[in-house]
Amino acid sequence: MTLPSHAEIVVIGGGIIGCSTAYHLARDHKADVVLLDQGKLTSGSTWHAAGLVGQLRSSASITRVLKYSVELYKGLEAETGLATGWKMTGCLRLATNADRWTEFKRLATTAKSFGMDMQLLSPAEVKRMWPLMEIGDLVGASWLPTDGQASPSDIAQSLAKGARMHGAKLFEDVRVTGFTMKDGRITAVKTSKGDIACDRVVNCAGQWARQVGAMAGINVPLQPVKHQYIITEKIDGLANDAPTIRDPDRRTYFKEEVGGLVMGGYEPNPQAWATGLPGGDVPNDWEFRLFDDDYDHFEQHMSQAIARVPALQTAGVKQMINGPESFTPDGNFILGVAPECSNMFVGAGFNAFGIASGGGAGWVLAQWVVDGEAPLDLWVVDIRRFSSLHRDRDWVRDRTLEAYGKHYTIGFPHEEYLSGRPRIVSPLYERLKTHRAVFGSKLGWERPNWFAPHGVAAEDVYSMGRQNWFGPVGDEHRHVREKVGIFDQSSFAKYELTGADALKALDWICANDVNKPAGRLTYTQLLNTRGGIEADLTVSRLGEDRFYIVTGTGFRTHDLSWISDHIGSGLNARLKDVTEEYGTLSLMGPCARDVLAAVTDADISNAAFPFGHAREIEIAGHSVKALRVTYVGELGWELHVPIAATGEVFDALMAAGKPHGIRPVGYRALESLRLEKGYRAWGSDITPNDTPLEAGLGWAVKLRKNTDFVGRRALEKAAGKAPTKRFAGFTVDDPEIVLVGRETILRNGEPVGYLTSGGYGYTVEKNIGYGYVRDADSVSDDFLASGDYELVVAMERTPAKIHQEALYDPAGAKIKA
């Protein structure tokens, strides 16, 4: 079969992700698809994968992706005639301590929020389901009956056959050697058997995805890690429909296979691969190859597994599998369009759950390739969550190994990674350390989460209840409400858009009206064609053709790419990332004006400098961009300072603020302050799945103005219909409750949604949560107000009160709570 000279879409890689993507492109979109594999189909990581298929993740969208995989695998054999080995055995997750049991109760609540029936079982019930198990140390287990297992190679071959049935062309033994590029886009794929001109490329090359991406200047930050499991001989008494087991406190997993067990685990001391090879590259000929058995390294799993299933002590080992799996720095896989090249898409880095993800990942990636935008909120797996930091191979390796080691550890709320730190620090780092800052990390930036009073250890102590910072953060929160605080937000992503057509470009990109005089600031969303919120940021007009854009730290690559991709062709508009050129000090609180007035000659009265305005002012001899905006609900300014001057300006503010009790404040207080004001957080409260109309942000959309913008048609269509979901706030009186998000919302006893974020409001002295209330018919004001509400927190119901307005006003009123 001769390679075609042209294809609409070329998929690189014939593992389960590549085969699934080709299948969905051909089946759902009738696309002209060519798939290339350098060896044989399944010859990367797919053939030696363990094949466990779980569905529940903390993201509703990713859970939907995994649930789709299960539905696809159920029916694939009937379509293609090739078996997939799919067995819906269900999955037991074992808990041996109180914190793990609380985690499972929260997971079970999340599952029910997402429409899945996860049950909590006693040790005796577990023993009846799995008689060979030792249960003496169990507190209990979770049970998800729709999880299962499959044969990875069989699924991939079945998907490959399905792809061919729908018109895709699949070629083996064809190695990609490079790309022909023009104006930053791929125009042809170079291969060992000739070139293929194409419109789009999908990089599903598995452990080779980093190397394939590098040929086009694209960074795919993944790290191959050696992952071992054993396959035993037949074990007497083991049922062939035995549930799969995850035993996270012992770091192991089990599944039945041909009367025996597959057993593996995730050790705290994983072994990276390829870092010592030339260029750190995975060898091209590494197909159907494994590493030597390493029983010394595997012994830690073996001893734990025997303690759980004593029959393993005498079971014969049929085979040990020791192969590389691609892992990522945050444990989430990688999908989407590469920020460096607008027509290369990536599906890679599946962290040993590529089989569970494969069907759904191929489905959404195919849609993404065809539409040019994600069909769901896929932010947690979007390749644009990474930055230039992730080009550092050593940093990626160290962080990935830490993430691997956490695969089965308890997921404590607010837990921070430790490896590769500190990496990026603001000029205030050493100053803030003297104030006993406890730092967290965001996209490599060290940021103060809270400040430890003397007598309190300056470190996080994690728990499932109130953590050790709860009291000190409350003090910081009250200080901002009553006096004045200063936040180091230098990690904010910042861009400048300049040029004669800068306004024209932003008018199309922004949902709100940015066509305001110089000196005005606009809060706006950027929407996708469905009307969903792709970004949430501020735009300050500094001149006729000069705009200053500020967005969240973690969204730097994503938002820069989104804006760049949507600047109309031929426009005179230049976008520049200036993040490292400016430090950002946020001066917030009722005394903020007094402090600022003491360090500048500028008129900062309310009449001269109203809310929503931007001015260049001088502080300590330096020109500073002052933006009158707040995320805490108090009088305040964001001060964007030339980076080298940040320390001097901070010192001047601290000195001037001393009579007013100024103090530095951290991000955890910022979070509780914004919760009281009802300010939305992108990525949780507002996402590409949510429109401004649903989120209560319709006031920030220029529908009344005769200006077209991305998403306008979808919003106009939605505006004429009754909404079926609405954003709302909830408070809970019980001080022992801890809200973290994804708790189920009950209205009159029936589930109507789940919380998107949660925390504590120290001024209103209540737990606060936000989420969307849903109803198939409509969600009116009366519908919201007339219900009797509860929240399900760790499987326990607790009374809740709904709120459609902010809980706190700047005068300090608490009556709304």
Q: Are residues 140 and 237 both part of a single domain?
A: yes
Average pLDDT over every residue of 251-270:
94
Average pLDDT over every residue of 574-580:
98
Q: Are residues 199 and 308 both part of a single domain?
A: no
Q: Are residues 141 and 161 both part of a single domain?
A: no
Q: Are residues 56 and 141 both part of a single domain?
A: no
Give the distance between the most distant pair of CA atoms in the chain: 85
User: How far is the C-alpha of 363 from the C-alpha of 397, rounded, in Å?
Assistant: 29
pLDDT digits (tens, 9 = 90+) for 222-250: 999 999 999 999 999 999 999 999 999 99
Q: Are residues 205 and 350 both part of a single domain?
A: yes
Find out whether 503 and 599 touch, Cβ atoms under 8 Å: no
pLDDT digits (tens, 9 = 90+) for 175-220: 999 999 999 999 999 999 999 999 999 999 999 999 999 999 999 9
* Res 283 pLDDT > 90: no
Task: List the CATH number of the domain containing 44.
Answer: 3.50.50.60
Q: What is the DSSP string of 662-682?
A: -EE--HHHHHHHHHHHT---B
Range with the lowest mean pLDDT among 280-289, 653-662, 718-727, 792-801?
Answer: 280-289
Give how many domains the chain has, as a whole number. 2
Question: Where would I find the H helices in 536-591?
Answer: 556-566
Find out whether 287 and 39 touch, Cβ atoms under 8 Å: yes
Task: List the CATH number of the domain containing 250.
Answer: 3.30.9.10
* Res 520 pLDDT > 90: yes
Distances (CA, A) of 562 to 61, 217, 254, 506: 20, 19, 42, 12
pLDDT digits (tens, 9 = 90+) for 386-429: 999 999 999 999 999 999 999 999 999 999 999 999 999 999 99
Q: What is the DSSP string of 206-243?
A: GGGHHHHHHTTT-----EEEEEEEEEE---TT--TTPP
Q: Quick check: is 357 in a domain?
A: yes
pLDDT band at 815 (very low <50, low <70, confident <90, very high): very low
Q: Quick check: is 296 in a domain?
A: yes
Q: Which domain holds residue 20?
A: 6-85+150-223+330-385
Mean pLDDT for the chain?
94
Q: Are residues 69 and 108 both part of a single domain?
A: no
Q: Are residues 232 and 135 both part of a single domain?
A: yes
Average pLDDT over every residue of 481-494:
98
pLDDT band at 743 (very low <50, low <70, confident <90, very high): very high
Range with the lowest mean pLDDT among 40-54, 182-196, 483-497?
Answer: 40-54
Q: Are residues 233 and 136 both part of a single domain?
A: yes
The residue from 292, 318, 344 where one domain ends is 318
pLDDT digits (tens, 9 = 90+) for 428-478: 999 999 999 999 999 999 999 999 999 999 999 999 999 999 999 999 999
Q: Quick check: is 35 in a domain?
A: yes
Q: Are residues 142 and 240 both part of a single domain?
A: yes
Find out whether 678 and 695 touch, Cβ atoms under 8 Å: no
Share of the chain above pLDDT 70, in %: 98
The CA radius of gyration of the chain, in Å to the nearest whole number, is 27
Buried b (16+ CB within 10 A) or exposed e, 67-89: bbbbebbeebbebbebebbbbbb
* Res 291 pLDDT > 60: yes
Average pLDDT over every residue of 68-72:
91
Q: Quick check: is 163 in a domain?
A: yes
Q: Quick check: is 212 in a domain?
A: yes
Q: Is the dihedral of CA 526, 530, 533, 535 positive or negative?
A: negative
Q: Are residues 199 and 293 both part of a single domain?
A: no
pLDDT digits (tens, 9 = 90+) for 137-149: 999 999 999 888 8
Q: Are residues 291 and 218 both part of a single domain?
A: no
Amino acid at 320: M
Nearest one of 484, 476, 483 to 435, comparing CA atoms: 476
Q: Quick check: is 783 in a domain?
A: no
User: How far is the C-alpha of 486 from the C-alpha of 174, rounded, in Å?
Assistant: 58
Q: Quick check: is 604 in a domain?
A: no
560's CB contacts (< 8 A; 6+ apart) are: 339, 493, 495, 575, 577
Q: Quick check: is 545 in a domain?
A: no
Average pLDDT over every residue of 260-284:
87
Nearest one of 60, 104, 139, 55 to 795, comparing CA atoms: 104
User: How far is the C-alpha of 85 from the C-alpha of 50, rounded, in Å?
Assistant: 12
Question: Where would I find the H helices in 372-491?
Answer: 393-405, 429-434, 470-482
Residues comprising the chain, all counted = 817
Q: Are residues 209 and 270 both part of a single domain?
A: no
690's CB contacts (< 8 A; 6+ apart) are: 377, 532, 533, 727, 772
pLDDT value for 817:
52
The residue from 318, 347, 365 where one domain ends is 318
